[in-house]
Amino acid sequence: MQEPDPDRDRAREDLALLFDAAEAAGDLAMAFHGQSPQVWYKPDDAGPVTEADLAVNDLLHAKLTPARPLYGWLSEETPDTPDRLTREAAFIIDPIDGTRAFAAEDRIWGHSLAIAHHGIVTAAVVFMPMLGKMYGAALGGGATLNGAPIRAADRPAPDGGTILARKSLMTPANWPGGAPDMAASQRSPMAYRLACVAEGRFDAVFVPSLIWEWDLAGGALLLAESGHSVTDVDGAPLRFNRTVPRAPGVLAANPALHGALVRRRMPGTAGG
């Protein structure tokens, strides 16, 4: 008989909590969608926020924090405080990922919910209500789309593959070891971009710029649990719930392809 694993049990329980909260978030957001919600613009060109973002943030805080009172809270729509840094675990939340699309009455927006323990994401949900896509992952438990397992694409080498990255990034300036001959395209928002790679629709993702943790955390676990290697753009591990909650970019692909892409990030290599 297999011995109980408290960490995996906790991750599964946390995932169930996130699934329930994401469903409620989707229902509330849909009540605002297409109803011309009020929009404000954040200072320092940080983008728009709508009354729906704030309402969903309040709903998630009210549902999640009483269920896990020892967890800290990091959300795009809540002023950050040092309190989360004193906790062993923290929620990392983007109430509406894709606010511009939401405000424009587009369909490509969603909710990204994650929990990190000691800097490692252990449970995550990315929900795209208007696409009917509910992604989920628990550490050590695999990743799913609408309950069905998802896996990394199996391409072993870059050339001829597909990558989610701006075409302008596929130049020797970003790949000193040789720019990979991969078909580049873009998806937004960030959580959905990572989820598309997690489900094997694309071979890799490359974002060589700072990324807020709430944009990255949910998709990062989906990628890892679907069999991808997920690092910063130079191959270093990602950590979450940091003092400044921004990651130095992301590079993800199946392990063989990821290694080849990391080598191409190094000067003086011959690609791979």
- What pLDDT, on a 0 to 100 scale, did the predictor assign at position 45? 67
Note the residue count of the chain. 272
Mean pLDDT of the region 78-83: 97
Place 1 in a pLDDT band, splitting at 50, 70 and 90.
very low
pLDDT tens digits along 22-57: 999 999 999 999 998 888 888 776 789 999 999 999
pLDDT higher than threshold 80 for residue 264: yes
**What is the residue range of 252's domain?**
162-264
Distance from C-alpha of 184 to C-alpha of 164, rounded to nearest angstrom: 6
Residue corresponding to tokens 């252990």? 122
Cis bond upstream, residue 189 (ω within 30)? yes
pLDDT higher than threshold 70 for residue 227: yes
Residues 99 and 28 in one domain: yes
- What pLDDT, on a 0 to 100 scale, did the predictor assign at position 270? 61
pLDDT higher than threshold 80 for residue 72: yes
Token pair belonging to 85: 């840094």
User: What's the structural domain count of the chain?
Assistant: 2
Residues 30 and 73 in one domain: yes
- What pLDDT, on a 0 to 100 scale, did the predictor assign at position 128? 98
pLDDT higher than threshold 70 for residue 83: yes
Q: Tell me the DSSP string of 190-224.
A: HHHHHHHHHTTSSSEEEE-S-EEHHHHHHHHHHHH
Does residue 1 belong to any structural domain of this protein?
A: no
SS3 of 199, please?
coil
Task: Confirm if 184 and 163 have CB atoms less than 8 A apart.
Answer: yes
Residues 110 and 230 in one domain: no
Does residue 220 belong to any structural domain of this protein?
A: yes
SS3 of 253, please?
strand
pLDDT tens digits along 118-174: 999 999 999 999 999 999 999 999 999 999 999 999 999 999 999 999 999 999 999
Q: Specify whether the backbone of 200 is left (phi greater than 0), alpha (psi in -120 to 50) or beta.
A: left
- What pLDDT, on a 0 to 100 scale, did the predictor assign at position 4? 67
Residues 188 and 145 in one domain: no
Token pair belonging to 111: 């909710």
- What pLDDT, on a 0 to 100 scale, did the predictor assign at position 59? 98
Residue whose C-alpha is closest to residue 113's, from 104, 105, 121: 121
Sign of CA dihedral 204, 210, 214, 220: positive
Does residue 217 belong to any structural domain of this protein?
A: yes
Token pair belonging to 96: 């509406």
pLDDT tens digits along 166-205: 999 999 999 999 999 999 999 889 999 999 999 999 999 9
Residue corresponding to tokens 């069999």? 227
- What pLDDT, on a 0 to 100 scale, did the predictor assign at position 94? 98
Mean pLDDT of the region 220-229: 98
